[in-house]
Amino acid sequence: MKICIAQTQSLRGQVQENIKNHLKIIKSAIQWNIDLIVFPELSITSYEPHLAKELAIELEDIRLNSFQKLSDKNEITIGIGVPTKDYNGIHISMLIFQPNRQRTVYSKEILHIDELPYFTSGINSQQLLNVKGKKIAIGICYETLKREHFIKAKENKAEIYIASVAKPDRGTNKAYLHFSIISKEFKTPILMSNCVGYCDNFLSNGRSSVWNQKGELISELDTINQGIIVYDTEIEIAKSVYY
């Protein structure tokens, strides 16, 4: 199986332009015979807590139909970052498109204290994707650094863990240390999809990466460019491509 993590630069609040950029990257990644592609936290709007209420998206928003069409046509699973709304409030979510299935949503369960004025924690159980027989857990930024979130994924038999994040330099430094240790301890590959460019009040510095089950960093993107990493789970080799 081939998993692709995307490193994108989203435009603040420009949903249509960001959708176009996502679709362009997915279409390019398809040539590498990927089975799954995951984007950074709130990638469709950029990470903008102050704008989240205004930008929040309904689960069945027709602007996102193109992702389902690509999923169906190419038999790939796609995860994009969006703020979603329901009766509980606004959530930091990942919308997931799977071939010929109804789209689903996973909402961040553990919020950073700075996010509490703008977002509500997800109440749905941690979602595992089943892609070509592999069980894959998704975590969103802050919660991915919480040991309990990873342990819960392992208790649910996750074989691979993907972190969808929006982090500046200090955040990626923490993630690099944490993911290296925990991937080795639990013998579980970990992939991190981060964005680049300004969002909210910080500069996100990319460095999207893959750690193998030995805790070894086997691929890393730079701090300024859009790109993808394609990770082959069978031979544990990762390839980087920039755009």
Domain span at 224: 2-242
Using CA atoms, how far residue 172 sits from 56, 127, 167, in Å, is 26, 24, 6
89-137 pLDDT tens trace: 999 999 999 999 999 999 999 999 999 999 999 986 677 999 999 999 9
User: 136-158 in b/e burial notation, b at 16+ Cβ within 10 A?
Assistant: bbbbbbbbbbeeebbebbeeeeb
Q: Give the Cα separation of 208 and 217 in Å (integer).
A: 11
Total domains present in the chain: 1
140-157 pLDDT tens trace: 999 999 999 999 999 999
Domain with 150 in it: what CATH number?
A: 3.60.110.10
One-letter amino acid at 120 equals T
pLDDT, position 175: 96
Short-list 33, 18, 20, CA closest to 74: 33
101's CB contacts (< 8 A; 6+ apart) are none
pLDDT at 221 over 90: yes
CA dihedral 208, 136, 183, 123 (to 10 degrees): 90
26-68 pLDDT tens trace: 999 999 999 999 999 999 999 999 999 999 999 899 999 999 9
Short-list 99, 102, 100, 162, CA closest to 127: 162
pLDDT, position 123: 81
CB atoms within 10 A of CB 87: 5
pLDDT, position 88: 87
